[in-house]
Each structure stands twice: as C-alpha cells, then as structure tokens.
C-alpha cells in the first residue's frame, strides 16, 4: 500500500503591505521598546564613528610623528567611547528583546483566540502539527519582520548613513567613487530576496509537514503498533524531513553564495580606495591617518549595506511565515453572534424544536439534512437513531450552534438560536461526545472543567452520582491522580464516568449524548448506564445512538434517514412499539 501523503499546500502569498496592515496594530505598547532599541543601537554606532576618527587622529598625531604625549588623551577618549558603546549596545539589545517577546506573546494569544472561535471541525479538518507550527515558528518569523527586523533595518540604515557621512566628511570625491558600487549591492540583494522567499515558503510548509507527521504518529501510536506500521510512519517522517532538508539546503546555498558575492564587491571598493588614496597621499591632499580612517569607515559601511541586503532575505523568510498565519486568520468563524443577539433569559426550560431545517456543510454540494422538523418537550428523552452518515451528529452541532442551518430554524424555548448569544446557548446544553474528551490534568480538574469555581464537596457529590468515586479510591492520588494525555491513563468506562460527573456538575437543562456507549463492552455499558440515567433525570435529553438496545424504554425514538434529494417533507409515523420514525 502506498504511504499517505504528508505534503500540505503552500499558503497563498500576501504582500508586505498586507502583512504590516495585519500585524502592525499588535505592536502597540511595544513600540517604545523598539524605539529604545533603535536609539541605543544608533548611539552605539555613533560611538564607533567617533572612535574611528580618534584612530585616524592617533595615526597622524602619534604614529607618524612618534609623539607619545599626544597619545593619552585620544586613547582615554577611545576607551570611554568603547565603554559607552558597550553599555548602549546591551541596553539596545535588551529593549528590543523585551518588545519582541511581548509582541510574540500577544500575537500567539491572538492567533490562538482566533482558532478557538472557529468551528471545532476546523481543527479536526486540518493537520494539527501544521497548525502548531503556525502558532510557534511562523509567529516568530513575523516578529522578526515587525519587531527586531524593523529595529535592525532602522539601525543598520542609520549606521550606513553615519559611516557614509563620515567618509564624505574626509574625502567627498573618494566617497563618491566608492558609492558607485551601491547599485550593484542592491541589485544582488533584490535578485536573491525573491529566490529566498520561495525557498523560505517551502521550508515553512515542510516544517508544518514534519510537525504533522510527528503529532499524528505519536497520537495514534496504538494504531501504528497494532497494524505494524512503524516503518511506514518513520518513512513518512523521513520524507517530510527530506523536504525540509532540501528547502534548508536551498536557503543555505543562497545565503552562502550571497555572502562571498558581497565580499567581492566590498573588496573591489576597498582596493579602489587604497589605490586612489595612495595617489592622493603622494600628491599631499590626504594624510595617512585620513586614508586609514576612510578605509575603516568603508570597512564598516559595506557590512552595513550588506546587512541591509540580508535584511531583505530575512524579510522574505518572515513574509513566508506571515503568509501562513494570515491564511489562518482569514478563516471566518462559521457562526458569530448577530448584532442584537441577547442571552437566554435565565435557565432554559429545555424545549427544543427543529423547524424545517436544511443544512449543507461549507464546501459541500449535497445537503446533510433536508427539511427536518421535530420537537422535544422540556424534560423529554428522545433517542435519535439512523444509519451512519444520516446526520445525527450534525444535528447536535446545529443545536450547539457550531453551525447555523442553511434553511429553517433551530429553536430553544421557542427562540431562534440565532437571536441568542452563543455563550448562553452553550451554557444551557451539555454534550457527551462519542469519544470522551479529557484534558491532561487530574480527575478533579476534569470533573470541574465546566465549573472551575465548584467546591471540592460539589465535585465529590457529582463524582459519587457518576460512579467515579468507586474507582478513584483505587487510584494512587485519589482525585488528584493525573488522567494522562486525553485521559489515556483511565479505561474507556472510567473516562466516560468522569465525563458524566463533569456533566452532572455543570447541571445544564439540555443534554446531548452522541453515541456515549461507542467502544464500551456490555459489562462497562451496564456500569455506565446507571450514572447516565441519573444524569438524564429532569433534563431534556437527545440521545444519538446506533444501538436501540441502549435506549431506555420510555424514550421517544426518531429515526433519521440519509438525505437523498429530491425529498418529500418530513412527517412522523407511529411505530408499533410506540416509537416514532422520521420518514419522508
């Protein structure tokens, strides 16, 4: 069998201006740190300019004349300047780091908060490792563009101006000759920057691919072992790693060629200066100290110009990261609170109605639900059955407003869910999923997840009702025992009972059970059933299940058929046993 593909598509390229428009507001509050970084770095550069001038002075006044008495004053000044340059440089680096780290924190928070607003299906349909890479490495790349990169750009440009200015001050005509090389610098960096951007985009995407393979492989390790797929998973990682390696080598090659090319240009400049300078000294228009200082300014100026070119490469790399983050930020939540939406007044009575609901998933052509109508009275238990793919779980997603119907209405207490705030709808509904969802943390943390303010007594009482107490007694640290990643340290039945305790503690008036018995054996089902009945008591319950054996006898049964347009309107038919079928 062929191995699964691990390559995700490259994110669409966005312009630098769009990147700045998107992220510049996030630098609010940090700009003063970046400004301080610039000021200190510029001060340090100024110190260097003066130090070189002192070096020229010492050459002419001490070395050429061999007069030691003229040495001490400029030498002490030079030392003082070096100390000032050191301190300002440290201050600049630290201020920039403070701004950069705070910006990173804010940006990560923002992107994560955005991801949290998207429908849960979004994360499920994406490769988690790739999403994680966007929240870590790609965000760092954006910081390099907007924060430390910008500081570097301004300070390097300022240094270049200082060194060029000082060179002009010594000999403007000589400086003009050397400046003639600058266009060559700029053309070279432009040519390299576009290639570097393509290589960086590939490298970013490959990084996401590798993360995805590692995340999936570790999360599904039991499946990998059971199916003897260790070697193929390793091959997948190797392939993703090779993609990353190729992209990195391409970057290294470009950076490697770029450096020496700049050096050649730099050397040409220096040789021209020395040649012309020697001739000027011979004609007495320039001192040796002047020429050496000029050459030293040039030796500082060229790396600064080279750095400017390198910043263009960093910008390319950062832009590739920002493309990937903007791609995620552009995804709009499937559902938002409409203007004027109000919270549900008080606790819901638990009256639910689906009124001619039609629903098509975004990006799908065929509807999943067509013209579906039914009601559930307060406190009633309704079992929803039907073949796989009929749309049973979709019904739960509409009730929790993960999506809005494409046609018709879903009502809670007679109010269209779209007129209510999402938070108040979800506060009144608890869902128990097919796969019990637990966070790594203690048993207590997981039970209190829906009500973090609950007292220990309340947690214990819920645990008692859910049958958690009997197995918690056997755990080494009782309620403080860790449940492991996704609750893997507990058995399936234990996990389900923790989830029931969590639901009992939350005490919402509406309960949705989405195949809560899936994967449990008969003995475990029997143990879970009793706590489940306690949970259902007094609540409106929709129980989604394949298996009618788990449905309590007093339940009204709704059978959902897969949508097959064109369809006739939905109507109920009495079933011999008293249950009802949804038919079309």
Ligand X SMILES: Nc1ncnc2c1ncn2[C@@H]1O[C@H](COP(=O)(O)OP(=O)(O)OP(=O)(O)O)[C@@H](O)[C@H]1O
Q: Of 17 and 364, which has the nearer Cβ to ligand X? A: 364
Q: Which is nearer to ligand X, 248 or 434 (CB)?
A: 434
Regarding 388 and contact with ligand X (CB under 6 A), the answer is yes
Helix ranges restricted to H, 473-515: 492-506
Instruction: For the segment 49-88, give every residue that binds ligand X (CB under 6 A).
Output: none
The enclosing H or E element of 423 equals helix 422-427
Phi, psi of 421 (to 5 degrees): -75, 145
Cβ(407)–Cβ(458) below 8 Å: no
Q: How far is the CB of 363 from ligand X (least distance, A)?
A: 7
Q: 408, 273, 406, 401: which is closest to 344 by C-alpha?
A: 401
- What contacts 510, CB < 8 A, 6 or more positions away? 348, 350, 352, 399, 412, 428, 429, 430, 539, 540, 541, 542
Give the whole-angstrom CA distance, residue 447 versus residue 428. Answer: 17
Shortest separation between residue 516's beta carbon and ligand X, angstroms: 12
Residue among 120 and 259 whose Cβ is closer to ligand X = 120
Exposure of 332 by Cβ count < 10 A (0-12 exposed, 13-18 middle, 19+ buried)? exposed
Among the listed ranges 13-21, 386-394, 487-495, 497-505, the one in contact with ligand X (CB under 6 A) is 386-394
- Of 263 and 583, nearer to ligand X (C-beta) is 583
Cis peptide before 412 (omega within 30 of 0): no
Tokens in use for 95? Answer: 């201020």
| Contact in structure between 322 and 14 (CB atoms under 8 Å) | yes
Q: How far is the CB of 394 from ligand X (least distance, A)?
A: 3
Nearest distance in Å: CB 547, ligand X: 11
d(CA 252, CA 250): 5
**Nearest alpha-carbon partner for 296 in 278, 273, 279, 268:** 273
User: 134, 392, 527, 550: which one contacts ligand X (CB under 6 A)?
Assistant: 392
Interaction between residue 471 and ligand X (CB under 6 A) = no
At closest approach, how far in Å is the CB of 515 from ligand X?
A: 6
Q: Give the 3-state secondary structure of residue 151.
A: helix
Binding mask 338-377 for ligand X (x = CB under 6 A): -----------------------x--x---x---------
Our finding on whether 391 is near ligand X (CB under 6 A) is yes
Nearer to ligand X, 446 or 545 (CB): 545
Our measurement of the distance from residue 564's CA atom to the centroid of its chain's CA atoms, rounded to an integer in Å, reads 39
Q: Quick check: 224 binds ligand X (CB under 6 A)? A: no
Tokens coding 285: 């228009």
Q: How far is the CB of 248 from ligand X (least distance, A)?
A: 35
Parallel/antiparallel/unpaired status of strands 429-432 and 510-514: parallel
Cβ atoms within 10 A of the Cβ of 191, count?
Answer: 13
Kindly tell me which of 228 and 388 has the beta carbon lying closer to ligand X. 388
Can you tell me which of 88, 206, 322, 393 binds ligand X, judged by CB under 6 A?
393
Query: Residues 528 to 547: which contact ligand X by CB under 6 A?
Result: 546
Min CB(364)–ligand X separation in Å: 5
Closest CA to 321 of 212, 211, 156, 206: 206
Nearest alpha carbon to residue 554 among 525, 520, 579: 579
C-alpha to C-alpha distance for 161 and 448, rounded to whole angstroms? 61
Tell me the closest approach of the beta carbon of residue 361 to ligand X, in angstroms.
3
Question: How near is the Cβ of 500 to ligand X at its closest, in Å?
Answer: 20
Residues 6+ apart with CB under 8 A from 444: 456, 459, 479, 480
123 vs 223 by CB, closer to ligand X: 123
Least separation, in Å, of the C-beta of 561 and ligand X?
Answer: 10
**Structural contact between residues 509 and 540, judged by C-beta atoms closer than 8 angstroms:** yes
The Cβ of residue 192 has, within 10 Å, a number of other Cβ atoms equal to 21
Give the rounded distance of the alpha carbon of 127 from its chain centre. 12
* Residue (388 or 474) nearer to ligand X, CB: 388
Is 502:449 a contact under the CB 8 Å cutoff? yes
- Nearest CB to ligand X, comparing residues 149 and 386: 386
DSSP label of 409: E
Query: Between 243 and 391, whose beta carbon lies closer to ligand X?
Result: 391
**Looking at 56-64, 81-89, 327-335, 389-397, which segment touches ligand X (CB under 6 A)?**
389-397
- Judged by CB under 6 A, the residue of 12, 259, 389, 484 near ligand X is 389
Give least dist CB 392 to ligand X, A: 4
Residues binding ligand X: number (CB under 6 A): 13
Q: Is 283 in the site for ligand X (CB under 6 A)?
A: no
- Please say which residue, 348 or 496, places its beta carbon nearer to ligand X: 496
Between 244 and 359, name the residue whose CB sits nearer to ligand X.
359
For the CB of residue 391, give the shortest distance to ligand X in the complex, in Å: 4
Whichever of 108 and 546 has its CB closer to ligand X, that residue is 546
One of 394, 494, 540, 559 touching ligand X (CB under 6 A): 394
String of contacts with ligand X for each residue 103-142, x by CB under 6 A? ------------------x---------------------
Q: Which of 131, 213, 320, 390 binds ligand X (CB under 6 A)?
A: 390
Chain residues binding ligand X by CB under 6 A are 121, 361, 364, 368, 386, 388-394, 546
């Amino acid at each position: 069998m062929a191995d699964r593909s691990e390559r995700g598509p490259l994110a669409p390229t966005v312009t630098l201006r769009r990147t700045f428009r998107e992220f510049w507001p996030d630098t609010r509050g940090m700009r003063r740190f970046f400004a301080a970084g610039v000021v200190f770095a510029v001060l340090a550069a100024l110190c260097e300019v003066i130090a070189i001038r002192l070096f020229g002075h010492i050459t002419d006044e001490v070395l050429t004349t061999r007069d030691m008495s003229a040495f001490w004053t400029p030498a002490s000044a030079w030392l003082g300047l070096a100390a000032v340059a050191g301190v300002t440089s440290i201050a600049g680096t630290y201020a920039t780091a403070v701004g950069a780290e705070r910006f990173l924190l804010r940006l990560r928070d923002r992107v994560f908060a955005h991801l949290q607003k998207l429908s849960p299906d979004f994360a499920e349909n994406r490769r988690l490792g790739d999403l994680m890479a966007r929240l870590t490495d790609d965000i760092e790349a954006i910081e390099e563009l907007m924060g430390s990169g910008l500081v570097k750009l301004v300070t390097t440009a300022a240094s270049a101006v200082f060194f060029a200015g000082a060179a002009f001050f010594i000999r403007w005509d000589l400086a003009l000759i050397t400046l003639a090389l600058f266009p060559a610098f700029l053309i070279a960096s432009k040519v390299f920057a576009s290639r570097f951007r393509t290589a960086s985009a590939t490298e970013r995407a490959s990084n996401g691919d590798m993360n995805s393979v590692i995340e999936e492989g570790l999360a599904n390790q039991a499946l990998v072992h059971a199916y003897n797929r260790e070697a193929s998973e390793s091959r997948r990682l190797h392939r993703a790693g090779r993609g990353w390696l190729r992209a990195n080598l391409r970057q290294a090659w470009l950076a490697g060629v770029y450096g020496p090319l700049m050096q050649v240009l730099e050397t040409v400049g220096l040789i021209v200066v020395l040649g012309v300078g020697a001739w000027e000294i011979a004609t007495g228009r320039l001192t040796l100290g002047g020429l050496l200082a000029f050459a030293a300014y040039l030796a500082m100026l060229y790396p600064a110009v080279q750095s400017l070119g390198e910043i263009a490469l960093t910008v390319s790399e950062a832009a590739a990261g920002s493309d990937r983050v903007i791609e995620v930020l552009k995804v709009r939540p499937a559902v938002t609170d409409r203007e004027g939406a109000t919270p549900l007044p008080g606790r819901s009575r638990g009256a639910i109605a689906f009124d001619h609901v039609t629903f098509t998933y975004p990006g799908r052509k065929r509807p999943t639900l067509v013209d579906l109508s039914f009601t559930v009275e307060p406190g009633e238990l309704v079992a929803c059955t039907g073949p796989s793919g009929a749309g049973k779980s979709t019904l739960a997603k509409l009730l929790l407003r993960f999506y809005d119907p494409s046609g018709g209405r879903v009502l809670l207490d007679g109010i269209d869910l779209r007129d209510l705030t999402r938070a108040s709808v979800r506060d009144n509904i608890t869902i128990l999923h097919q796969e019990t969802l637990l966070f790594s943390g203690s048993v207590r943390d997981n039970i209190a997840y829906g009500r973090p303010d609950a007292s220990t007594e309340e947690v214990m009482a819920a645990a008692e009702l859910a049958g958690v107490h009997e197995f918690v007694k056997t755990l080494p640290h009782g309620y403080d025992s860790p449940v492991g990643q996704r609750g893997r340290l507990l058995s399936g039945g234990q996990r389900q009972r923790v989830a029931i305790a969590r639901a009992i503690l939350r005490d919402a008036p509406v309960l949705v059970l989405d195949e809560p018995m899936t994967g449990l054996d008969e003995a475990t089902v029997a143990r879970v059933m009793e706590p489940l009945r306690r949970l259902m008591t007094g609540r409106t319950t929709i129980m989604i299940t394949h298996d009618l054996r788990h449905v309590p006898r007093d339940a009204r049964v709704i059978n959902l058929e897969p949508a097959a347009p064109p369809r006739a309107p939905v109507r109920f038919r009495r079933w011999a046993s008293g249950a009802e079928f949804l038919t079309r």
